[in-house]
Amino acid sequence: MNQKHSPETVLITGASSGIGLELARIFAQHGFKLVLVARNRTKLLEIAATLPGSSVHVIAKDLSHPRAPQEVFEELREKSIPIDVLVNNAGFGQYGKFADTDLETQVEMIELNIVALAALTRLFLPDMLERGTGKIMNVASTAAFQAGPLMAVYYASKAFVLSFSEAIENELHGTGITVSCLCPGATETNFADRAGMKDTWLFKLGAMDAKTVAEAGYAGLMKGKSLVIPGAKNKLLVQSERLAPRKLVTAISRKIQEQR
Ligand SMILES: NC(=O)c1ccc[n+]([C@@H]2O[C@H](COP(=O)([O-])OP(=O)(O)OC[C@H]3O[C@@H](n4cnc5c(N)ncnc54)[C@H](OP(=O)(O)O)[C@@H]3O)[C@@H](O)[C@H]2O)c1
């Protein structure tokens, strides 16, 4: 039943910068064929040209459009490119009080961070199940573990990713498919800039570099770990919240999110 073929192909969303780009470099170094997805085709093609000795297929797609996951799936099916490893990494946040935020941007965030991630997983799972082998990495965040005042929808979207990943990881026991949820803390990428949160305590108190985060994610995925939290500080933060009153945790979360 286990129909593994070599070299394996990894699909990475959000591969044009930050954690996704570092993951693409690591998978390429380990001999994987790559399918890279993001909106910026030029950037993806430039990256593809720099990756060591690997076959790279580039798909420029805005995954916040409802039809986009299906279109990615169909393009790969037409080209007979099977996906062995799915990395749902693309995502973004937006800083500000919920009542003041732009509704269109909030909906776009839900479409990308939640809908596209679930849809891609649902689309690629049947083939993995048929082959009896496969790996899925979903990129959540330490934001998944508590509410996030001043970034309410983003934190809630990452709580979805964590809960969803842990649930399907359980459902897939014994199938040959593993699901790993990567939960980085603050990381130096384009994320804080796009979210408009560079001056928050969260980022001023120190961010990890994207390469270290991606290395932890790759290692955890390969070991079949269901939850990967890179960095001792982030692990401690998540653990320390477990027994604390929820309102206190939310209040501290707000403090960290405030502008310095
Ligand atoms: N940086 C942090 O502090 C941090 C912490 C915890 C979790 N995370 C999570 O890590 C993941 C990667 O983020 P990052 O920090 O590496 O940020 P980043 O540098 O901004 O990278 C985001 C990637 O997603 C792509 N993307 C954005 N919108 C897209 C869309 N609508 N359709 C398709 N692709 C899209 C971007 O490419 P294009 O612009 O070309 O589309 C880019 O490749 C996200 O899920 C984020 O929530 C980040």
Query: For 117-150, what is each residue's pLDDT tens digit?
Result: 999 999 999 999 999 999 999 999 999 999 999 9
Residue 52 or 202, more confident: 202
Average pLDDT, the chain: 96
Give the model's pLDDT for residue 116.
Answer: 98
pLDDT > 90? residue 54: no
Give the model's pLDDT for residue 205.
Answer: 86
Read off the pLDDT of residues 88-101 as tens digits, 9 standing for 90 and up: 999 999 999 999 99
Using the atom order of ligand 1, give the atom closest to the CA of residue 143.
6
Q: Does the CB atom of residue 188 touch ligand 1 within 6 A?
A: no
**87, 92, 213: which to mutate for ligand 1, most atoms within 8 A of CB?**
92
Residue 222 lies in a domain: yes
d(C-alpha 64, C-alpha 13), whole Å: 12
Q: Assign residue 224 the CATH number of its domain.
A: 3.40.50.720
Using the atom order of ligand 1, give the atom closest to the CA of residue 193.
20
Quick check: is 218 catalytic? no
Using the atom order of ligand 1, give the atom closest to the CA of residue 188.
1
pLDDT > 80? residue 5: no
Using the atom order of ligand 1, give the atom closest to the CA of residue 116.
32
How many residues can be counted in the chain?
Answer: 260
Residue 1 lies in a domain: no
Q: How confident is the model at residue 204 (pLDDT cuts 50, 70, 90)?
A: confident
Q: Does the CB atom of residue 101 touch ligand 1 within 6 A?
A: no
Residue 179 lies in a domain: yes
pLDDT > 60? residue 1: no
Written as one string, the DSSP assignment of 218-243 is HHHHHHT-SEE--SHHHHHHHHHTSS
Residue 206 lies in a domain: yes
Q: How far does the centroid of ligand 1 lie from the alpha carbon of residue 17, in Å?
A: 7
pLDDT, average across residues 61-67: 98
* Strand, coil or helix: 187: strand
Give the model's pLDDT for residue 139.
Answer: 98
Give the model's pLDDT for residue 98.
Answer: 98
Domain span holding position 210: 9-257
Residue 3 lies in a domain: no
Q: How far does the centroid of ligand 1 lie from the alpha carbon of residue 12, in Å?
A: 11
Cβ contacts of 159 within 8 Å, gap of 6 or more: 140, 143, 144, 145
| Least confident among 59-73, 197-211, 212-226 | 197-211
Give the model's pLDDT for residue 201.
Answer: 86
Give the model's pLDDT for residue 4.
Answer: 67
Q: Does the CB atom of residue 91 touch ligand 1 within 6 A?
A: yes
Residue 52 lies in a domain: yes
Q: How far does the centroid of ligand 1 lie from the alpha carbon of residue 19, in Å?
A: 8
Residue 71 lies in a domain: yes
The domain tally of the chain equals: 1
pLDDT > 70? residue 3: no
Residue 4 lies in a domain: no
Give the model's pLDDT for residue 198.
Answer: 87
Contact 90, 23 (CB under 8 A): no
In the chain, % of residues over pLDDT 90: 91
pLDDT, average across residues 49-63: 92
Q: Does the CB atom of residue 177 touch ligand 1 within 6 A?
A: no
d(C-alpha 161, C-alpha 103), whole Å: 21
Give the model's pLDDT for residue 52.
Answer: 81
Q: Tokens 């990567």 identify what position?
A: 182
Q: Does the CB atom of residue 115 touch ligand 1 within 6 A?
A: no
d(C-alpha 107, C-alpha 89), whole Å: 18
Closest CA to 223 of 179, 188, 254: 179
d(C-alpha 211, C-alpha 255), whole Å: 28
Give the model's pLDDT for residue 2.
Answer: 66
Q: Does the CB atom of residue 64 touch ligand 1 within 6 A?
A: yes
